[in-house]
Copies of this chain bind each other. A is one copy, B any other.
Amino acid sequence: MKELKVFLNKFATLAEPDAFVEAFSIIKKIKKKDFLLEPGVNCNYLAFIRKGTFRVFFYDQEGVEVTVWFSWEGMLVGDLLAFYKKSKSIFYVQAIEESELSIISREKLEDLYIVYPDYLQFARKYAEHVSVNVMERLLTLQTKSAEERYLELLETPNFLQKIPLKYLASYIGITDSSLSRIRRNVR
């Protein structure tokens, strides 16, 4: 899997890249709208997206669907919050389109860290990368208007057609009606 090596190399250049690829041994296909995860289940694994797009979401106190994250080809997906907290899953992880995954269990990942301690560099760099991403999103949400947040979102590549607007709206913390109005003004 060349893609997995490319992914790995974004975070650390290691002596045994093949070990990484081998560890992602479970292959899984998921149909559009099907779930990789639902709240309350064990989520002791991460999935590398070979093909497809995912969104991570949950229902808030009032039962409103809140999209918290997207992932595309070449990225990891899963309930990262629960994974790091070692708790049961909190979120739904749903395929937005027909998708293909390579899965690694927490166990195998930890084994990798024991056999090749270098791989801890990957774990570290990946977590740091996640931190940076989430911090930047927090700042955007805390300081920018809905319209600015939408424009910022448009800058991100990958945000082509695949994702329905209502999910994008929720992702930037607004309703779909509001996003629709913003789009009218912007265009």
Contact = CB atoms under 8 A, between A and B. Distances in A.
Given A127-B128, A132-B81, A132-B84, A60 B121 contact: no
Contacts of A81: 132, 135-136
A84 B130 CA distance: 10
Interface string A113-144: 00001101101100111111011111101110
How many chain copies?
A: 2
A138 B137 contact: yes
Interface residues of A, number: 30
Given A68-B139, A143-B60, A124 B134 contact: no
Contacts of A142: 66, 68, 141, 173
A80 interface: yes
A162 interface: no
Contacts of A181: none
A85 interface: yes
B131 A124 contact: no
Interface of A: 60-61, 66, 68, 80-81, 84-85, 117-118, 120-121, 123-124, 127-132, 134-139, 141-143, 173
